[in-house]
Structure 1
């Protein structure tokens, strides 16, 4: 039950090994189209990986993580490593933020200061939070479960235990992607201490009558859902059925890992044609490094095997705030979502942003949290 400091300390030999593997990479031939319809274009990935090899500095990211302050504790045999940044306001509320795949704790990098020091970022002392940002089990610096059973429900229970160990008797939870599933599971199970949640990927499904006569926003959601199933969900089918198989390549090849993740940085962000329109290149590589340095290609994919079947609508008894960013990959109109939320206190529709809401639009994301949790005091 001990909570102790955790220092990120990657040896230079790991960086040298990464560079050697990139230098030895075998590249496929060029795609036969002039767009991304067959995946990441060869020229785009070679440019991205070339920057990673020659211009990127991991140790700037390592310093950032250590300056924020990382900690560790063991829960049911798995080491959970997490950021814990306390607000200077003693009366600040506690908030646990959960990332998804292929993201990491770094998704929230530009939200930490506005959440903990709101008066310096357009807010008031009443908007202050102590933030806890854990690496999911099998992701980043957290340990890798050695036995099956680490579902979103179990992770939700573990987050409750983590918050208890940190001394928070009343707290709030937020998440998108797998973070949305974990955060929903916290509310559904009514984990002790949780007073309300916010989701930036609200999950809901249409009823037959919705599909028979959809409103414009419902018709658009149905179209996006179908496109996702037809053209964008192959990664999830592989990871939910054969995570070990796909893991060999992701752990062994930095180019393979970069292609697997960079494509989603392009496909799932609100951009003008390039992933770099929405996310800084160094930030994207920082994120990929949390998968590469920890060899977590298989262990992160395994969460799909554990819980993909339970990634669906749930009735949520706690106060809920939700934000529907316009380029979310699986949209849920308010009409569908509020059926599951008798206590929906906030529904926001920011003007810009995609699947990685906190990462792409930190100011809008923080504003949404302030409004939503403002109704839960």
Structure 2
């Protein structure tokens, strides 16, 4: 496997083009509704677009990103961008962490700091990890797959090959959002090398077989399935669009940075533990760094394509089918779904379950200390 160092370098022409587009935004007319009731709030969006055009320093963000040890690898014919940080401790344990949408490799910076060098944060150096953070195919600097068919299951094959190419014979995996599906697929398809997986989200397509041979659904499980259906009806329009007409949406979002900010910014507000005040959890510059990665790489279309692929290959489990490596689950209270432990135990060996005191969907950015401690605790028994 060929691996080479990688550095981000956006041209001045691209930066100037983005600012021009932002300054020339053609604003939609306002509707007679409560703020955020029908989507992204107009005044909020104008404030953020103005900051992106006039105050946000991409060069500073780019410099910060380039402090991370980044690489590009050829993995089974697919180019994969990844961060590879070595642990500071007597025997760091290898861990591959997978992001989702609308995130990127950037969201794990604070978490990786705590996992790689726990002693710097008051932890035990024996808990140190070697952390590998790839960009999903079609996200940021990982090119889109050349052919259709790359769902979480195929990405898991890429990650297994990447870890082998890096010299890791055994390893753990962690993920939320789309990354949870990839981590589950890794454990399902490669139990001989995956010691365990840690999740902070359960894929919405996850479904064990329920029939006469299985125990009936508990009240908690029935409630969860009902709540999930209600959430999809009221809040899941984005996912339905991603999974059915991704290229129609991509034509708009790839051309309008204001539209991209509205589409992604709303999710960071709605899915985080911020009580409606997004800057309680994320600074403008943090969110705009993530947005800029989508914009400068023109990857929004290829990123949401993964919803199409996952819809065609959902995470369904046959009667009696099990994921054998143990699972740790961190349940954050403002996450977008709340599976009961019994629902997961139909397929997984749930070795650790933690009900977190706060935090939402973007746990690595919102609560890196809580998430890092939970990951350390889970893998301590598997080293």
Query: The TM-score by the shorter chain falls in which range?
Result: over 0.9
Report if the CA contact (8 A) 2:330-2:354 is conserved.
yes
Instruction: Report the TM-score, using the length of structure 1 for normalisation.
Output: 0.94
Q: Would the aligned equivalents of 2:243 and 2:308 in 1 still touch at CA under 8 Å?
A: yes
**CA 1:112–1:260 in 2, change beyond 3 Å: closer, same or farther?**
same
Question: Judging changes above 3 Å, is the alpha-carbon distance between structure 1 residues 2 and 210 closer, same or farther for their aligned structure 2 residues?
Answer: same
Range 69-78 or range 165-174, more displaced: 69-78
1:255 aligns with 2:258: yes
Quote the Cα distance in structure 2 between the aligned partners of 1:185 and 1:135. 17
**CA contact under 8 A between 1:169 and 1:193: conserved in structure 2?**
yes
Q: TM-score, normalised by structure 2?
A: 0.93
1:59-89 deviations in Å (ceiling 9; x for gaps): 2221122111100011233210110111133
Q: CA distance change for structure 1 residues 205 and 194 in 2, over 3 Å: closer, same or farther?
A: closer
Which of residues 216, 239, 243 is equivalent to 1:240?
Answer: 243
Correspondence for 2:380: 374
Whether 1:316 and 2:319 are equivalent positions in the alignment is no
CA contact (8 A) 1:84 1:133 kept: yes
State the Cα RMSD in Å.
Answer: 2.0
Separation in 2, partners of 1:317, 1:309: 24
What residue number does 1:359 align with? 365
C-alpha separation between the residues in 1 aligned to 2:312 and 2:201?
17
Counterpart Cα distance in 2 of 1:376 and 1:109:
24
Moved over 3 A (4+): 203-213, 221-224, 309-315
- Cα pair 1:265 1:275 within 8 Å, conserved: yes
User: CA 1:128–1:213 in structure 2 vs 1: closer, same or farther (change >3 Å)?
Assistant: closer
Contact 1:345–1:375, Cα closer than 8 Å, also in 2:
no
- Which of 227, 232, 247 is the matching residue for 1:229? 232
CA distance in 2, matches of 1:279, 1:15: 23
Cα contact 2:191–2:325 (8 A) shared by 1: no
Alignment of 1:74-153 (within 5 A): 74-89=74-89, 91-153=91-153
| Residue 39 of structure 2 is aligned to residue 39 of structure 1 | yes
Q: Residues 55 and 211 (structure 1 numbering): CA distance in 2 closer, same or farther, change over 3 Å?
A: farther
**3-state SS of 2:66 partner:** helix
2:306 alignment partner in structure 1: 303
- CA distance 1:192–1:2, shift in 2 (3 Å): farther
Q: 2:277 is matched with which residue?
A: 274
Q: Is 201-210 or 295-304 further displaced after alignment?
A: 201-210
Aligned length: 374
Tell whether the 8 Å contact from 2:88 to 2:125 is kept in structure 1 after alignment.
no
CA deviation string 1:287-346 (max 9, x = no partner): 1111101001110011011112444355311111111111111221112111211x3211
Q: What is the aligned counterpart of 2:339 among 315, 332, 337? A: 332
Structure 1 stretch displaced more, 221-230 or 140-149: 221-230
Aligned to 1:66: 66
Unaligned runs of 5+ in 1: none
Deviations 1:106-159 (A, max 9, x none): 111111111111011121012100100000000011111121121111100000
Query: How does 1:176-255 map onto structure 2 within 5 Å?
Result: 176-190=176-190, 192-203=192-203, 214-215=219-220, 219=223, 221-222=224-225, 224-255=227-258
For 1:285 and 1:311, the matched residues in 2 are separated by 32
Deviation at 1:41, TM superposition (A): 1.1
